[in-house]
Amino acid sequence: MAFANFKAENGRVSVEDMLNMSGTNWNVVKKPLITEEGWTTDSYGIFREDKGTYLATVGNRYTPTQNKELLELLYQAAEHANVSISRGGTISGGKRVFYQLGLGQDKIGGSGIDRWLTTLNSHDGQTPLGFGTTNVVVVCRNTFFKALNDVSKVRHTPKSYDRLSIIVQTMSDAILSENQLIVKFKEMSDTYVPATLDDDFLRNILGVNENTRSDNRVNLLRAAIAQDVKIHGNSQWALFNGVTRFTTHLDNVKDRSRSVMEGSGFKINNRGLELISEFKSYSNTL
């Protein structure tokens, strides 16, 4: 995942500067796909115009949303919400583009947490434009991404004012959801649980069956949780941080950052949040 963080002296960055600093100052083009024999098809390819990189295959009705077009709408929406776009980047060479709005820092238990509202857009015709929350625990940089609201109607709304209205409302709803998530994290930090976990519970979090490879991952996850229990105490928050430590730093995946935002790490973290917040005791010893 390519990523950039940039802040101007006055706290505001121009659209052009943000496009350049985030590596997203390029357009996508939609071209018809033709067979080697010259036969036409009903499919179209989406390509990065600057590099000619193939990104996806789409249908003839798909209309790309250009990075600059999206960012201009986000800037206007951010002004309504009194927040600023602080950074952005790409995933998988541009198949996904994201921009993040800083929501400040909070304290959960004894740890600081950086809060971001993330706008994620795809150029593959599969994933709708949407908002999510990205929280990073300062002491260990454990990262959690949760999808909140999609803005799929924007693609099919021709008028700029109407598109802006949709994004403003969705952004406001997403910020509210992010605030509620922080409240949940604080409740988890105050919820005591014995530092005891059985293998079945850990496998449920990982979404795996019993085998040699999964047992290795279970042991890594157990060690990560034990490390965060030492930092955060015997709480649901500690157990959850152990899960995000595993996905952020330890799991053997090709692109860990991408995994946390849209891959196996994303699924593990969100499954872990659901399971850990529901259960307060486990069997066996950590």
* Contact by Cβ (8 Å): 200, 264: no
- Each residue's pLDDT tens digit, 205-225: 999 988 877 889 999 999 999
60 pLDDT more than 60:
yes
- Each residue's pLDDT tens digit, 92-110: 899 999 999 999 999 998 8
8 pLDDT more than 90:
no
Q: What strands lie across the sheet with 40-48, from one edge to the other?
A: 28-34, 40-48, 54-59
| CA atoms of 6 and 280, how far apart (whole Å) | 41
Angle between helices 160-189 and 67-81 (to 10 degrees): 60
| CA atoms of 74 and 22, how far apart (whole Å) | 15
Whole-number pLDDT of residue 249 = 95
91 pLDDT more than 50:
yes
pTM: 0.86
* Contact by Cβ (8 Å): 202, 219: no
Contacts 24+ apart (CB under 8 A), 163-166: 163/73, 164/73, 164/76, 164/77
What mean pLDDT do residues 188-214 have?
87
Q: Locate all alpha helices (DSSP H) within 28-90, ordered by sequence.
A: 67-81
Q: Locate all alpha helices (DSSP H) within the chain, ordered by sequence.
A: 15-21, 67-81, 160-189, 199-206, 212-232, 236-245, 256-262, 264-278
Task: Pick the more confident residue, 115 or 286.
Answer: 115
**Residue 219, SS3?**
helix
Whole-number pLDDT of residue 9 = 38
